[in-house]
Amino acid sequence: MNKGELVEKIQELKRQKNAVIVAHSYQIDDVQEIADVVGDSLALSQYCARTDYEVIVFCGVHFMAESAKILSPEKIVLLPELQAGCPMADMITAEDLRKMKEQHPQAAVVCYINSSAEVKAESDICCTSSNAIKIVKSIKEKDIVFVPDMNLGSYAAKMAPEKNIILWEGFCVTHHRIKAAEAQRIKELHPDAVLLVHPECRKEVVELADFVGSTKQITDYASASEHRKFIIGTEMGVMHHLKKDNPDKEFYLLSPGLICPNMKKTSLKSIYDALYEMKNQIEVDEEVRLKARRALDRMLEITI
Ligand code: 13P
Ligand code: SF4
């Protein structure tokens, strides 16, 4: 099948199965184009919590589809590429977190949504990169165990100095790769450009930024800004909509290394196969799901 035929078949299957396609903004351009909703982790979770479609095709990585299933257990959630995981989410287990809780019994636990259902189930509340500061500030305890992203956790600690944040040393392999010297170099190359970075970047890179935000916050900022040139410090997938929605502006990727191989696994063919065969359905153990749901619901209540 060529691309046009694949797109047509997917649209037909979507109607037959009452399915919706949601895609993270790090997905390849073709996948973003066929998706009904494109967004960051928070926007997609909010969408999945309230959608009426019977089937959600989640074009992203495993923890995202799992979060959709936790929030909408009555729906069928398909992950077109089952091998699309998040290395950061795999950097902590529920057992690791239980040990950390024993060491800090007085602390509340905030877990980044980039984590397994089991880790969420051990946590008091979830956060995403767009609401981490708000979530941390909303917690009554001064001591907060923050897992698994040390970079997002450090940024939250800087923005909420009244809190004592205890970090787990996980990181995003894609964003953490970028060093301050590289950011400095590209700033010198484009001195009139504004630097927008994701808080999964290293602390030293975040310190050089003009604006720090989630994927959606970065794209919203660039669209609303009066500036014309932007250096983008997050995964290259965001360039698709940035360029399409702002044809009069210029965008430079902070580094060619800003590419997440797991986010690039999903293709039109894998979406078609998943929908046709209704395969790669995500399941979550009910006891774990109920506990993880509490942490996600608390986040959504505070954020909405
Ligand atoms: P956001 O979707 O919150 O911007 O997070 C980026 C990310 O790395 C998702 O895996
Ligand atoms: Fe995980 Fe980073 Fe890829 Fe997001 S970009 S899925 S945090 S490895």
Q: Mind listing the pLDDT tens digit for each residue in 168-187?
A: 999 999 999 999 999 999 99
Say what percent of the chain tops pLDDT 70: 100
Nearest residue CA, atom 9 of ligand 1?
Answer: 41
Instruction: Identify which ligand lies nearest to the alpha carbon of 24.
Output: 1
Q: From residue 69, give the alpha-carbon distance in Å to each of 16, 43, 54, 290, 297.
A: 21, 15, 12, 11, 13
| Length in residues, the chain | 304
Neighbours of 226 (CB within 10 A): 4
pLDDT of residue 137: 97
Give me the chain's average pLDDT, please.
Answer: 97
> In this structure, is residue 124 part of a structural domain?
yes
Instruction: Identify which ligand lies nearest to the alpha carbon of 258.
Output: 2
The answer to whether residue 205 scores a pLDDT higher than 90 is yes
Q: Clarify whether residues 112 and 238 are in a common domain.
A: no
pLDDT tens figures, 54-96: 999 999 999 999 999 999 999 999 999 999 999 999 999 999 9
- Compute the average pLDDT of residues 34-47: 94
Q: 149 CB under 6 A from ligand 1?
A: no
Q: What is the CATH number of the domain that holds 140?
A: 3.40.50.10800
pLDDT of residue 286: 98
Q: Clarify whether residues 295 and 279 are in a common domain.
A: no
Mutation test of ligand 1: which of 32, 113, 114, 196 has the most ligand atoms closer than 8 Å to its C-beta? 114
Q: Clarify whether residues 269 and 296 are in a common domain.
A: no
pLDDT of residue 151: 98
Q: What residues make up the domain containing 38?
A: 3-84+263-283
pLDDT of residue 304: 64
Q: Clarify whether residues 39 and 164 are in a common domain.
A: no
Q: 87 CB under 6 A from ligand 2?
A: yes
> In this structure, is residue 258 part of a structural domain?
no
Q: 20 CB under 6 A from ligand 2?
A: no
Q: Clarify whether residues 72 and 94 are in a common domain.
A: no
Q: Clarify whether residues 121 and 197 are in a common domain.
A: no
Q: Clarify whether residues 292 and 168 are in a common domain.
A: yes
> In this structure, is residue 183 part of a structural domain?
yes
DSSP string, the chain: --HHHHHHHHHHHHHHHTEEEEEETTS-HHHHHH-SEEE-HHHHHHHHHH---SEEEEES-HHHHHHHHHH-TTSEEE-S-TT---TTGGG--HHHHHHHHHH-TT-EEEEESSS-HHHHHT-SEEE-TTTHHHHHHH-S-SEEEEESBHHHHHHHHHH-TTSEEEEP-B--TTTTT--HHHHHHHHHHSTTSEEEE-TTS-HHHHTT-SEE--HHHHHHHHHH-S-SEEEEES-GGGHHHHHHH-TTSEEEES-TT---TTTT---HHHHHHHHHHT-SB----HHHHHHHHHHHHHHHHHH-
pLDDT tens figures, 208-250: 999 999 999 999 999 999 999 999 999 999 999 999 999 999 9
CA angle 294/295/299 to nearest 5° reads: 110
pLDDT of residue 146: 98
Q: Clarify whether residues 224 and 205 are in a common domain.
A: yes
pLDDT tens figures, 247-284: 999 999 999 999 999 999 999 999 999 999 999 999 99
Confidence of residue 35 (pLDDT cuts 50, 70, 90): very high
CA of 15 to the centre of ligand 2 (A): 31
Q: Clarify whether residues 126 and 275 are in a common domain.
A: no
Q: 234 CB under 6 A from ligand 2?
A: no
The answer to whether residue 21 scores a pLDDT higher than 80 is yes
The answer to whether 108 and 144 are in contact (CB under 8 A) is: yes
Q: Clarify whether residues 144 and 192 are in a common domain.
A: no
Q: 151 CB under 6 A from ligand 1?
A: no
Mutation test of ligand 2: which of 198, 260, 264 has the most ligand atoms closer than 8 Å to its C-beta? 260
What is the tally of structural domains in the chain? 3
Q: Clarify whether residues 166 and 224 are in a common domain.
A: no
Q: 235 CB under 6 A from ligand 2?
A: yes
Q: Clarify whether residues 161 and 299 are in a common domain.
A: yes
Q: Which atom of ligand 2 is nearest to the CA of 174?
A: 2
Phi, psi of 78 (to 5 degrees): -110, 135
CA of 130 to the centre of ligand 1 (A): 9
Q: 260 CB under 6 A from ligand 2?
A: yes
> In this structure, is residue 66 part of a structural domain?
yes
Q: Which atom of ligand 2 is nearest to the CA of 173?
A: 8
The answer to whether residue 1 scores a pLDDT higher than 90 is no
CA distance 163 to 23: 34
Q: 129 CB under 6 A from ligand 1?
A: yes
Residue type for position 107: A
